[in-house]
Structure 1
Amino acid sequence: MSEIKRKGLPLDQAKKVIVMIHGRGGTAESILSLVPHLNLTDYAILAPQANGNTWYPFGFMASDEGNFVALESSLRKIEEIVEEVTGAGIAPENIYLLGFSQGACLSLEFAARHAKRLGGVVAFTGGLIGEKLKPENYSGDFEGTSIFIGSSDRDFHVPAKRINESAELLRKMGAEVTVKLFDDPDHTIRAEEIKWVNQKIFI
């Protein structure tokens, strides 16, 4: 099991759990800096740390072969955390995933490979992973899970086209997907995005 930073309530006292996934070059601590800005008072908060601060070596739309080993390992880490949480008696519909950039991509990818009713998924600048989108990689039914994807409309790392394609695929799997693309070039998390997820997902 990789290193996991923990905040909020202990698992045995929490009714809801959020798994927060940092971006490339980031850390568990850096993604946890969002906590004071989110409505997570009653949550157990788990933030895994990637080896070498990266979940997979190349861009999320690079060759599938290049990212395969690291990506599978990273997806397994998230799966282990979710298994720990469900083992503590917390139902999937009370589990939330949140990530930024590479962590947002990993959040969406994990959720789509194991689609079920979740509390919600928040992807600050991300899309599904792969050279091309392969619907056959994904299975399950989100049963109305809320998924938020926010980004620049011209992000250097994450093209708007891939975000919209990802959203469409997730909708076909039963998710309620909201995409907000902002008219700026910034690779960041905006106050408007924080406000939206606090009002619609972390309620």
Structure 2
Amino acid sequence: MPTTPLERITIEPKSPATSCVIWLHGLGDSGAGFAPIVPVLALPENHGIRFIFPHAPEQPVTINQGSVMRSWYDIKSMDLHNRADMAGVLESEKRVQALIQEQIDLGIASKNIVLAGFSQGGVLSLFTGLRFEQSLAGILALSCYLPTADKLPEQCHPANLATPILQNHGERDDVVPLSAGKMANALLNAAQYKVTWQTYPMEHSVLPEQLTDISAWLQERLLA
């Protein structure tokens, strides 16, 4: 595991935290990009959910002419089969695993932790969640794909075979094609994961209506 914990924005509930959502941002963004959604989710006053928005490390990104930006892994090509640098995916997976373990060590059971992410962060949340060796409360995969393209990741762990997975995608997404999300969904369904697929009339983004649906899903996972 990495010795340096991920920098992050943490939003504590008013009540003592009994559960946690770890939300991973997209390419070139930071944890600050999604932190403002917490009040928009309109959770109950005494919800007890800690939200953690980690910042990806900065690194050169090939498809952006080698520009240095926050990125969970290098993106080498727009071709789905060669898009993700798997060495980088595996390194970031270790960092996210360490963050999950940190919360477990603080007293939040893995079954009360949701791993969420958008775009590149969604890729990492899906990949890490499928391989994590303890059962999670849920995996939220927004506007993303599997880094292993047309197959499931190697060494998927049975601990999360029954974990609810929510996949959302924009019908007009021109960054991560809808077909890439559908491919991941088909693979998950074929392997009998508990996956729910929902599309929205949007580009590569998040809609208020979508956040309302996500809030209901989170409450079912963590507050029911």
Q: What is the TM-score with the length of structure 1 in the denominator?
A: 0.85
Tell me which amino acid in the other structure corresponds to 2:157. S
Distance (Å, rounded) in 2 between the aligned partners of 1:125 and 1:175: 18
Distance (Å, rounded) in 1 between the aligned partners of 2:170 and 2:40: 20
User: Could you tell me which of 15, 19, 22 is aligned with 2:18?
Assistant: 15
1:125-140 to 2 correspondences below 5 Å: 125-140=143-158
Q: CA deviation at 1:103?
A: 0.8
User: Could you tell me which of 49, 67, 72 is aligned with 1:43?
Assistant: 49
Q: CA deviation at 1:199?
A: 1.8
Aligned residue for 1:196?
213
Check if 1:95 corresponds to 2:113. yes
1:65-84 to 2 correspondences below 5 Å: 67-84=85-102
Structure 1 runs (4+) deviating above 6 angstroms are none
Tell me which amino acid in the other structure corresponds to 1:17. C
Aligned residue for 1:63?
82
Q: CA deviation at 1:136?
A: 3.1
Contact residue 200 and residue 210 of structure 2 kept, 8 A:
no
Distance (Å, rounded) in 2 between the aligned partners of 1:166 and 1:107: 13
CA 7–201 in structure 1, closer or farther in 2 if over 3 Å, else same: closer
Q: Which moved more, 1:189-198 or 1:116-125?
A: 116-125
The percent of aligned pairs where both chains have the same amino acid is 23
Distance (Å, rounded) in 1 between the aligned partners of 2:21 and 2:121: 13
Contact residue 78 and residue 110 of structure 1 kept, 8 A:
yes
Distance (Å, rounded) in 2 between the aligned partners of 1:94 and 1:152: 28
- Larger Rg computed on CA atoms: 2
Tell me which amino acid in the other structure corresponds to 2:184. S
CA 172–90 in structure 1, closer or farther in 2 if over 3 Å, else same: farther
Q: CA deviation at 1:76?
A: 0.9
Q: For this pair of structures, how many residues does the alignment match? A: 200
1:128-167 to 2 correspondences below 5 Å: 128-167=146-185
Q: CA deviation at 1:135?
A: 4.7
Aligned residue for 2:62?
none
Q: CA deviation at 1:115?
A: 6.1
Q: CA deviation at 1:16?
A: 0.4
Distance (Å, rounded) in 1 between the aligned partners of 2:138 and 2:164: 5
